[in-house]
Amino acid sequence: MSVQFSALISPVNCPNHGTELDCAHCGVRSLSVCGALHDDELVAFEKMSKTISFNVRETLFEQDEPSECVYNITTGSVRLYKLLPDGRRQIVGFALPGDFLGLALSERNVFSADALTPVTACQFSRSTFSEMLDEKPHLLRRLHSIASHELTLAQDQMVILGRRTAEEKVAAFLIGLRKRWGRVNASNLHIPLPMTRQDIGDFLGLTVETVSRMLTRMAREKTIVIVPDGVRLLDVARIEALAEC
């Protein structure tokens, strides 16, 4: 199977202000699409890309702009959102280290992305990356596996938004992040929350007041403890039970 992104987009004009990659020593290589590459293939992979950095609140790309680049997040966290016709914002997800952004089959970005924390990313032109996918079937298979996982997460999100109470939504959000952060830092109890309460509310379809009230209730019931950069789980069994309701 062949992915022909280059036929869908205009000539690439990615920023080129980064530094050379060092794929062999990348801390998230095993988590991302590039984990499918053999050591001898990394040299060519490095030549395709640059490492770029973004400050807090800096935009990686904007909704409806030409989709010319793809990004592999190596450090930091990214907020993904869409602006609705009436001006409201819908958070569609949060990207963490190891996540790959920008491969939607569209000439323009379907959502915007900005940095929640200082972010570093490997940046590729979509046409160049597409050519490598054609040449490396094992890379394409890895990409399909990642896409299937993201589809599962999207389906889970539909269930969360549809039939759960506010407390169950917040619990499911925390457990989902716990699993994702666990792939990065192997932490079992500490869950970083670089996003705001408003971000969480926009993602879960709740008001910021409801998110704050649910977190306060969990803390009062000693299910979690709220720490400066997130939460720490005290009663894992209880919050997992809430998340599975």
Domain limits, the chain = 5-153, 164-243
pLDDT of residue 15: 46
The pLDDT of 19-45, averaged and rounded, is: 67
Percentage of residues of the chain with pLDDT beyond 90:
42
C-alpha to C-alpha distance for 16 and 128, rounded to whole angstroms = 14
User: Between the CA of residue 93 and those of 39, 54, 155, 168, 173, what are the distances in Å?
Assistant: 32, 18, 13, 18, 11
pTM to 2 decimal places: 0.79
pLDDT of residue 23: 63
> Is residue 150 over pLDDT 80?
no
Residue carrying structure tokens 């008001």: 207
116 contacts 150 by C-beta, under 8 angstroms: no
pLDDT confidence bin for 156, thresholds 50/70/90: low
The two tokens of residue 66 are 């030409």
49 against 56, higher pLDDT: 56
46 contacts 20 by C-beta, under 8 angstroms: yes
pLDDT per residue as tens digits for the range 221-241: 999 999 999 999 999 999 999
Answer yes or no: CATH 1.10.10.10 is held by domain 164-243.
yes
Q: Which fold has domain 5-153?
A: Jelly Rolls (2.60.120)
Spatial CB neighbours of 137, under 8 Å, sequence gap ≥ 6: none
115 against 86, higher pLDDT: 115
Spatial CB neighbours of 77, under 8 Å, sequence gap ≥ 6: 94, 95, 96, 115, 116, 117, 119, 192, 194, 195
C-alpha to C-alpha distance for 235 and 174, rounded to whole angstroms = 13
Q: What is the dihedral of CA 148, 151, 152, 155, to 10 degrees?
A: -160
Residue carrying structure tokens 């500490």: 190
> Is residue 5 over pLDDT 80?
no
The pLDDT of 8-35, averaged and rounded, is: 54
pLDDT confidence bin for 10, thresholds 50/70/90: very low
pLDDT of residue 55: 97
199 against 185, higher pLDDT: 199
pLDDT confidence bin for 77, thresholds 50/70/90: very high
> Is residue 202 over pLDDT 80?
yes
The two tokens of residue 173 are 């959000």
pLDDT per residue as tens digits for the range 78-98: 999 998 888 888 899 999 998
